[in-house]
Amino acid sequence: MTADPRSTPHEEPPARIEILPVTGLPEVRPGDDLAALLAGAGLRDGDILVITSKIVSKAEGRIRQADDRTDAIAAETERVVARRGDTVISQTRHGFVMAAAGVDASNTEPGTVLLLPEDSDATARRVRAALAPAKVGVIISDTFGRPWRHGLTDLAIGAAGVQPLEDFRGGVDTHGNPLSATVTALIDEIAAAAELVKGKLSGVPVAVVRGLSHLVTDEAGPGVRALLRPADEDLFRYGSRDVVFARRTIREFSAEPVDPEAVRKAVAAGIAAPAPHHTTPWRFVLVESAATRVKLLDAMRDAWIADLRGDGFSEESIAKRIRRGEVLRNAPYLAVPCLVMEGSHTYRDERRNAAEREMFVVATGAGVENFLIQLAVEGLGSAWVSSTMFCRPAVRELLGLPESWDPMGAVAIGHGAAPPRDRAPRDPGDFILVR
């Protein structure tokens, strides 16, 4: 029988694994040398040392004076994923998604909190190098919750000299079934196993895992970064309380192509918006042809210039306004949301007819906002530009739209080439009137 050329040979599981607590360590203080403290742990070649991140934070001086964690959590948070009451799930600048941005008020002196280490992979590399000539692996661990399960478990937040993942994709199981998605997080499994002898209250911050020498590598390796899922692969990137704020105006796009299916999912969100009289006032024209995009934008530009000249604007002022619309030309994908008045009521009173149209305009805006938010959830950036509203005849003609379709702007869509600018701070109280 010939082996599948795509499969990778995997080591047989070891006959015996030992997990040994490292006891007798002193209270760790800022400036302490962790490797020196662990030199007497009786390490052998092939051992894996699992170190609780708290003592790393203490040794590295990652201690802050604080009566509570609130300010420290905000400072350590790059992105809030979810929030309920005082509980905050956030992404740290390291890329970890965890409770309270990893800020911990336990096992530290009253009035202080511990922050995560600056770079746990780097710490693991330094400790490993200092323990030479012993060939050992080092894992820095911390406690994480899981979104679909009760209880906490330890995971790796740093590693060196340990194979981080085992990839079974391309192989087959014992029944001959192909494996297409199986990648085992080895360093997380080791970190969780080591916690069984460390515990939360026993005062044992370090454990030695023995019997997995086949996972200890000659080089330091990629560390925990190999386990962090990129944003565009994260199906659960935004929590329900975070998702509205995920929508940001993006004006610089990369050349990476846009998945049309992702845009169609955004359209599905757009048409879920509320509308008057049980109508469906939204239509989305997806301009996927590059040639059509160029013709559309040229036609819009020419119509806009003609209007501005007719209004007496100077050529300098016209050029400045035209440059603002370049975001549409730089995007690899365009959508043109349109308003249709099908199902609207007609009244003898023009005042009521005007209000009827306003109702449909508001409903279209709600649909476009849903569309923009879902684009962000799909990992796409966008910018809603109102230019098509100033040249509707030209847009209808070039795109072959019915006279009853009113273009309500154009949405530039793509992958952001640069992070969006920070939002200007706004106090909701400034926008509220209570009676």
pLDDT at position 201 is 64
Predicted confidence band at 12 (pLDDT cuts at 50, 70, 90)?
Answer: low
The token pair at 97 is: 């998604």
What is the CA 241 to chain-centroid distance, rounded?
A: 14
DSSP per-residue string spanning 9-52: --PPPPS--EEEE---PPPP-TT--HHHHHTTS---TT-EEEEE
406: in domain: yes
Residues of the domain holding 305: 247-431
241: in domain: no
69: in domain: yes
Q: What is the arithmetic mean of pLDDT over 136-162? A: 94
**Model pLDDT for residues 357-408, shown as the tens digit of each residue:** 999 999 999 999 999 999 998 889 999 998 888 899 999 999 999 999 999 9
Amino acid type, 184: T
Beta bridge partners of 79: 91
Q: Any idea which residue has 């400036």 for tokens?
A: 31
pLDDT at position 261 is 96
Lowest mean pLDDT among 94-103, 140-149, 323-332: 323-332
Query: What are the phi and psi torsion angles at 29 (to 5°)?
Result: -120, 160
Q: Say if residue 183 is in the same domain as residue 308.
A: no
Closest by CA position to 239, among listed 87, 103, 415: 87
Residue 11 has pLDDT above 50, yes or no: yes
pLDDT at position 419 is 80
pLDDT at position 172 is 73
Closest by CA position to 164, among listed 228, 208, 209, 116: 228
The number of distinct structural domains making up the chain is: 2
pLDDT at position 386 is 87
101: in domain: yes
238: in domain: no
Task: Assign 29 to helix, strand or coil.
Answer: coil
* Residue 48 or residue 86, greater confidence: 48
The token pair at 426 is: 């706004």
Contact (CB, 8 A) for 371 and 393: no
Predicted confidence band at 286 (pLDDT cuts at 50, 70, 90)?
Answer: very high
Average confidence score pLDDT of the chain = 90
Amino acid type, 314: S
Q: How far apart are CA 102 and CA 74, in angstroms?
A: 11
26: in domain: yes
pLDDT at position 2 is 34
Q: Say if residue 131 is in the same domain as residue 102.
A: yes
Collect all residues with Cβ–Cβ distance below 8 Å to 263 and sequence separation of at least 6. 286, 333, 335, 375, 378, 380, 413
Residue 211 has pLDDT above 70, yes or no: yes
Contact (CB, 8 A) for 397 and 390: no
Q: Say if residue 120 is in the same domain as residue 208.
A: yes
**Model pLDDT for residues 82-111, shown as the tens digit of each residue:** 888 888 888 999 999 999 999 998 888 889
Q: How far apart are CA 328 and CA 168, in angstroms?
A: 43
Residue 232 has pLDDT above 80, yes or no: no
The token pair at 335 is: 């959508």
Q: Are strands 410-414 and 381-385 parallel, antiparallel or unpaired?
A: antiparallel
Where among 233, 263, 287 does a domain terminate? 233
Contact (CB, 8 A) for 19 and 196: yes
pLDDT at position 13 is 64
Q: What is the arithmetic mean of pLDDT over 57-78? A: 91
Q: Say if residue 229 is in the same domain as residue 260.
A: no
Where among 185, 208, 233 does a domain terminate? 233
Q: Say if residue 256 is in the same domain as residue 363.
A: yes
The token pair at 168 is: 């079974």
Closest by CA position to 392, among listed 430, 340, 348: 340
Q: Say if residue 252 is in the same domain as residue 177.
A: no
The token pair at 212 is: 């997995």
Residue 325 belongs to domain with CATH number: 3.40.109.10
Q: What is the arithmetic mean of pLDDT over 64-87? A: 86
Q: Say if residue 277 is in the same domain as residue 378.
A: yes
pLDDT at position 181 is 65
Q: What is the arithmetic mean of pLDDT over 157-186? A: 83
Please list, residue by residue across 133-170, b when 16 or more beta carbons sit within 10 angstroms of its beta carbon and e when fewer do.
eebbbbbbbbbbeeeeeeeeebbbbbbbbbbbeeebee
Closest by CA position to 140, among listed 99, 89, 100, 102: 102
104: in domain: yes
Closest by CA position to 146, among listed 103, 199, 89: 89
Q: Say if residue 287 is in the same domain as residue 411.
A: yes
Residue 102 belongs to domain with CATH number: 3.30.1330.100
282: in domain: yes
Residue 243 has pLDDT above 90, yes or no: no
Q: Say if residue 189 is in the same domain as residue 41.
A: yes
Q: Are strands 137-146 and 48-52 parallel, antiparallel or unpaired?
A: parallel
* Residue 109 or residue 258, greater confidence: 258
Residue 62 has pLDDT above 60, yes or no: yes
Q: Say if residue 194 is in the same domain as residue 293.
A: no
Q: Is the dihedral of CA 8, 12, 186, 207 positive or negative?
A: negative
Q: How far apart are CA 188 and CA 138, in angstroms?
A: 12
In the chain, what percentage of residues exceed pLDDT 90? 69
Q: How far apart are CA 62 and CA 55, in angstroms?
A: 10
Contact (CB, 8 A) for 413 and 331: yes
Count Cβ atoms below 10 Å from residue 65 Cβ, excluding itself: 9
Q: Say if residue 222 is in the same domain as residue 260.
A: no
Where among 184, 202, 233 does a domain terminate? 233
176: left (phi over 0), alpha (psi -120 to 50) or beta: left
Residues written for the chain: 435
Q: Say if residue 203 is in the same domain as residue 278.
A: no
Highest mean pLDDT among 5-9, 146-150, 255-259, 323-327: 255-259
